[in-house]
Amino acid sequence: MLLYYITDRTQFPGTEPERRERLLDKIAEAALCGIDFVQLREKDLSGRELEFIASEAMQRVRSSGTKTRLLINSRIDIAVAAGADGVHLRSKDISPEDARRIWRKANGAKDPVIAVSCHTEAELVTAEKASADFVVFGPVFGKFEGLATRLDGLRPVCRHKVSVFALGGVTLTNARSCIDAGAVGIAGIRLFQGNKVATIVKALRR
């Protein structure tokens, strides 16, 4: 089971500087505990602030000595500048193909990991045709930003060739049902951020 931690420092208590430090600590914890991917998703920050945190986060991921990969939400320029492993695109962002083209032109290094958020099968098909490495599909349980789906909606999208992570209301209780439906892994914010990551990873991968 692959695991994808999506950050949201606003859920941490304390002042803004304290929340940022807790965020970096949680990213380091996630890497040390074997989380496969971390998406830095601090959309309210300025470009300069996001680049600083991304660079700090990348240093902590690297120092963990694990295979965790850090993706930056939407901002290819910041991902390249911070030395991140890739980007996470919204379905309405540029295509994965265009993102790779920009990455290679700016970086010239190895290809980035490119993930895409999808809420419908049609969006998933578009991402798959544009060579996304994987998609994060949801919400599988409950509602998110006015969208609602069900576990039944996860099964058909998992029949496509592109790998699918399940997102939205995933808990220790229902995570296995997502894998049984065909997902390669699960994604979440609170699941990882609100708990000891080692405990969650052990429970999910037992």
Q: At what angle do helices 16-32 and 47-64 cross, to 10 degrees?
A: 30
Give the least confident one: 66-75, 81-90, 108-117. 108-117
What digits encode the pLDDT tens for the residues 121-155? Answer: 999 999 999 999 999 999 998 765 555 567 888 99
* Rounded CA separation 136/26 (Å): 21
pLDDT attached to residue 143: 62
Instruction: Give the SS3 label for residue 125.
Output: helix
CB atoms within 10 A of CB 32: 17
What digits encode the pLDDT tens for the residues 41-53? Answer: 999 999 999 999 9
Residue spans of beta strands (DSSP E) within 142-203: 143-144, 147-148, 163-167, 185-188
Please give the structure tokens belonging to residue 8. Answer: 């949201």
Strands 147-148 and 143-144, sheet pairing: antiparallel
Taking residues 153-167, report their average pLDDT.
95
Architecture per CATH, 2-204? Alpha-Beta Barrel (3.20)
